[in-house]
């Protein structure tokens, strides 16, 4: 029996990395010719489908936000309308309350253009008529 040396020098050196080269036959090269375009087409279609899906998702989110905004605006307008109606009702109540305090049996006050003439002013001399006219116009009679 022969003794083999022990240690790292006992075995032949091995390469750090080995590359396996397989020679392709004509059938595998034909498969490679259609496999790459098919893989590219499938990848492209997956990307397109994903992009379509995401655009639909964004559109749905945009529509939902728009509906929520319109709903908020409608609610705000409804609150404003109710507040305005409440203010009108309170003003009407106040007017009715004031009207209840008025004596409805008394004749209405004459309008300024229907004011009766004053006998004292009618009897004055004509020389004062322009001054009286100015006074009457100034007082709104």
DSSP 8-class letter at 126: G
Is 94's pLDDT higher than 80? yes
End-to-end CA distance of the chain: 151
DSSP 8-class letter at 117: P
Quick: pLDDT tens for 19-62: 555 555 555 677 778 888 899 999 999 999 999 999 999 999 99
DSSP 77-95: HHHHHHHHHHHHHHHHHHH
More confident residue, 111 or 11: 111
As a whole number of angstroms, the distance between CA 141 and CA 133 comes to 9
pLDDT bin (cut points 50, 70, 90) of residue 108 is low
pTM for this predicted structure: 0.38
As a whole number of angstroms, the distance between CA 107 and CA 112 comes to 15
pLDDT at residue number 13: 61
């Amino acid at each position: 029996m022969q003794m083999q040396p022990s240690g790292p020098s006992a075995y032949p050196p091995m390469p750090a990395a080995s590359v396996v080269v397989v020679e392709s036959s004509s059938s595998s090269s034909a498969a490679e010719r259609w496999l790459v375009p098919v893989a590219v087409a499938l990848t492209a279609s997956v990307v397109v489908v994903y992009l379509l899906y995401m655009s639909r998702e964004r559109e749905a989110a945009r529509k939902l936000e728009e509906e929520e905004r319109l709903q908020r605006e409608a609610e705000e307008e409804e609150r404003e309308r109710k507040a305005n109606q409440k203010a009108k009702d309170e003003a009407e109540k106040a007017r009715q309350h004031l009207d209840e305090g008025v004596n409805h049996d008394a004749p209405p006050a004459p309008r300024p253009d229907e004011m009766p003439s004053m006998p004292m002013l009618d009897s004055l001399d004509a020389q004062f008529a322009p001054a009286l006219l100015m006074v009457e116009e100034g007082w709104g009679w």
